[in-house]
């Protein structure tokens, strides 16, 4: 139910004075050992209690109280560490982290199971709207009390009945950061422990009073005021162990003390399993005595698990237990709605009427698969990157995959380009392909009459004028042909050479590259080998090479190393 944190042991300084009796310098770990194993034990008890009611764990509902103690201890410890590190507690940051942890899987559960309930129909739709409202507002326990639903004797299939405990925890997450500064006013740790312990005792007595006088078992079990002693016990434990965990004393690290803590913690775990075998009753023996005993044993197990260098914490953090503990939130959320849906689809009744073994096994398999998928692809990304970061990453991934799919479908066809991309590609193409130098034939004056030659635009005017205006038509030598506009490569040769060293423009690069584009391979722009001429060639060869030589990237010498055709000199130039 509470967010898993990375595990590590407290790092004790090896230079501590063994005989001084003072606390050695330590760095508190980011994660408390053993809590994942206790979460795994709690969720196993609850899941077996619901899916296989005919088995031995008739009192497996106490796993919820194990969750409560862990949540109170962990949340208070994190808040106290934040206060020690920064001198303040960020309420917005704390609530944001809780929302990232709880909301993604909860919203997915409501969407999927509500849609499945509409498809199945029948009794699973009874008061479904009120259940969804209670789940979204984290007040399901009070809504269940108002509509008169019972936890142990219900006859109608409640789809989201298991969310009552999530409502109590979320109410604690909202109210406790506001009440914590009042408790911190007390100067001593023992005073804070005593104050919170008194509140826990009052809650326990109030549950017993409700059960003994009114027989309102569901009211006593669902109520936040009467079922808060587990969370408050965890809070008191956090106040008592805060300084001890951050700077353990030397006597706590003695071998006999560590072994004793491990033995006591192991006995507490076995005691929890033994209590889960006891069937519940509608009397004070179960509400609150059995639940209070389970909460106290959970607190003892937590102390033994987080004890410095004790063996119980690593034992509880074994890989199978840790895997289950990290996914305990998803396992708890999904197992009950899936069970209600399957039983309603197969038998048309509620799980209280009986759950076949094969239905329980199918529900267990579906719960594990869905919880793993939710933890890996939804809960973990949102907890690390937030809602916006996860949304951006998902959109980018969809774009990349759609582009790859488009390329595999289209094949050798070029990808469509926008107008700006096309303009940039054409500019780069012109830089890689400069204009062909003019031939001597182009420099001859025109002998056409003035009206027969092409007309040019007069600068600044909207009319066409002949090229030789103001000159005598009988003097063709006085006419100069219009100047050719130099290409961009001719105006800036270095940038042209640099641009040719890049990859070919997107408009000339199909997806995947066709055989036509293979001449662009290489780190720099390349030219044809035929563009290289020697001085020994005659003038006709030089003229033909100058006409055919173009700065086209091809397999051959680099552009920066290709010489220009030398001007013909000597007697052969005539």
Tell me the pLDDT tens digit for each residue of 71-111. Answer: 999 999 999 999 999 989 999 999 999 999 999 999 999 99
Which carries the bigger pLDDT value, residue 542 or residue 162? 162
Which carries the bigger pLDDT value, residue 450 or residue 385? 385
Per-residue model confidence (pLDDT) at position 182: 93
Integer Cα distance of 156 and 159 in angstroms: 9
Site of tokens 């209070």? 292
Q: Taking residues 306-332, what's their average pLDDT? A: 94
Per-residue model confidence (pLDDT) at position 152: 72
Integer Cα distance of 238 and 70 in angstroms: 10
Per-residue model confidence (pLDDT) at position 27: 46
- Asked which of 32-46, 199-213, 248-262, 483-497 is least confident by mean pLDDT, the reply is 483-497
Phi then psi dihedrals of residue 10, to 5 deg: -65, 135
Which pLDDT band holds residue 420 (cuts at 50, 70, 90)?
low
Integer Cα distance of 263 and 507 in angstroms: 73
Which carries the bigger pLDDT value, residue 134 or residue 150? 134
Q: Is the pLDDT of residue 266 over 60?
A: yes
- Helices then strands, each counted (H, E), the chain: 20, 4
Q: Is the pLDDT of residue 311 over 50?
A: yes
Which pLDDT band holds residue 122 (cuts at 50, 70, 90)?
confident
The 8 Å CB, 24+ separation contacts for 57-63 are: 57/276, 57/277, 58/276, 58/277, 58/278, 58/279, 58/280, 59/275, 59/276, 59/277, 59/278, 59/279, 59/280, 59/286, 59/290, 60/276, 61/280, 62/272, 62/275, 62/276, 62/290, 62/291, 62/294, 63/276
Q: Taking residues 488-492, what's their average pLDDT? A: 50
Q: Residue 57's beta-bridge partner residues?
A: none
Highest mean pLDDT among 215-229, 479-493, 515-529: 215-229
Q: Taking residues 520-533, what's their average pLDDT? A: 43
Q: Taking residues 130-142, what's their average pLDDT? A: 93
Per-residue model confidence (pLDDT) at position 418: 60
Assess contact for 305 and 316: CB atoms under 8 A: yes
Which pLDDT band holds residue 433 (cuts at 50, 70, 90)?
low
- The mean pLDDT value of the chain amounts to 77
Highest mean pLDDT among 11-20, 334-343, 463-472: 334-343
**Which pair of structure tokens corresponds to residue 345?**
């689809």
Per-residue model confidence (pLDDT) at position 38: 96
Per-residue model confidence (pLDDT) at position 514: 43
Q: Taking residues 508-522, what's their average pLDDT? A: 45
Per-residue model confidence (pLDDT) at position 534: 42
Per-residue model confidence (pLDDT) at position 409: 60
Q: Which residues contact 415 (CB under 8 A, 6 or more apart)?
A: 406, 407, 506, 511
Q: Residue ranges of the alpha helices (H) in 148-188?
A: 164-184
- Asked which of 117-121, 361-365, 539-543 is least confident by mean pLDDT, the reply is 539-543
Q: Is the pLDDT of residue 513 over 50?
A: no
Question: Which helix (H) or strand (E) covers residue 422, if one does?
Answer: helix 419-432
């Amino acid at each position: 139910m509470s967010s898993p944190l990375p595990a590590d042991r407290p790092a004790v300084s090896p230079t501590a004075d063994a005989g001084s009796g003072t606390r050695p310098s330590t760095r508190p770990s980011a994660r408390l050992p053993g809590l994942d194993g206790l979460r795994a034990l709690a969720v196993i008890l609850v899941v077996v209690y619901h899916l296989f009611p005919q088995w031995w764990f008739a009192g497996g509902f106490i796993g919820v109280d194990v969750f409560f103690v862990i949540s109170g201890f962990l949340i208070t410890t994190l808040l106290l560490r934040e206060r020690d590190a920064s001198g303040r507690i960020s309420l917005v940051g704390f609530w944001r982290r809780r929302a990232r942890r709880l909301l993604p899987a909860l919203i997915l559960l409501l969407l999927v199971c509500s849609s499945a309930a509409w498809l199945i129909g029948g009794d699973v739709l009874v008061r479904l709207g009120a259940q969804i409202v209670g789940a979204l507002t984290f007040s399901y326990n009070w809504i269940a009390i108002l509509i008169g639903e019972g936890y142990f004797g219900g006859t109608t299939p409640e789809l989201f009945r298991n969310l009552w405990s999530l409502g109590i925890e979320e109410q604690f997450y909202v109210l406790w950061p506001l009440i914590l500064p009042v408790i911190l006013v007390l100067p001593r740790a023992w005073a804070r422990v005593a104050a919170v312990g008194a509140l826990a005792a009052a809650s326990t007595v109030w549950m017993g009073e409700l059960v003994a006088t009114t027989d309102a078992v569901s009211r006593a079990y669902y109520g936040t005021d009467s079922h808060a002693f587990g969370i408050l016990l965890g809070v008191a434990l956090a106040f008592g162990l805060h300084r001890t965990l951050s700077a353990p004393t030397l006597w706590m690290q003695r071998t006999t003390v560590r072994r004793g803590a491990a033995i006591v913690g192991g006995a507490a775990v076995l005691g929890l399993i033994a209590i889960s075998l006891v069937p519940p009753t509608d009397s004070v023996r179960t509400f609150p005595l059995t639940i209070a005993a389970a909460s106290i044993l959970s607190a003892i197990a937590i102390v033994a698990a987080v004890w410095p260098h004790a063996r119980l914490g690593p034992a509880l953090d074994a890989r199978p237990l840790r895997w289950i503990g990290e996914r305990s939130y998803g396992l708890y959320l999904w197992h009950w709605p899936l069970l209600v849906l399957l039983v309603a689809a197969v038998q048309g009744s509620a799980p209280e009427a009986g759950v076949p073994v094969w239905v329980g096994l199918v529900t267990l398999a579906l719960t594990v698969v869905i919880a793993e998928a939710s933890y890996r692809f939804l809960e973990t990304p949102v907890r690390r990157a937030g809602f916006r970061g996860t949304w951006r990453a998902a959109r980018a991934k969809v774009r990349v995959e759609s582009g790859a799919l488009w390329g595999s479908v289209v094949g050798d066809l070029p990808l469509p380009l926008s107008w700006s991309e096309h303009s940039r590609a054409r500019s780069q193409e012109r830089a890689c392909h400069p204009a062909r130098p003019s031939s001597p034939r182009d420099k001859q004056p025109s002998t056409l009459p003035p009206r027969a030659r092409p007309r040019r635009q007069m600068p600044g005017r909207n009319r066409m004028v002949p090229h030789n205006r103001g000159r005598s038509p009988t003097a063709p030598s006085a006419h100069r042909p219009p100047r050719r506009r130099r290409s961009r490569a001719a105006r800036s040769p270095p940038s042209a050479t640099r641009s040719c060293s890049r990859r070919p423009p997107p408009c000339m690069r199909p997806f995947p590259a066709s055989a036509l584009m293979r001449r662009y391979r290489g780190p720099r722009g390349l030219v044809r080998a035929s563009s290289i001429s020697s001085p020994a060639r005659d003038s006709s060869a030089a003229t033909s090479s100058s006409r055919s030589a173009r700065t086209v990237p091809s397999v051959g010498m680099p552009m920066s190393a290709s010489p220009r055709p030398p001007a013909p000199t000597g007697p052969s130039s005539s």
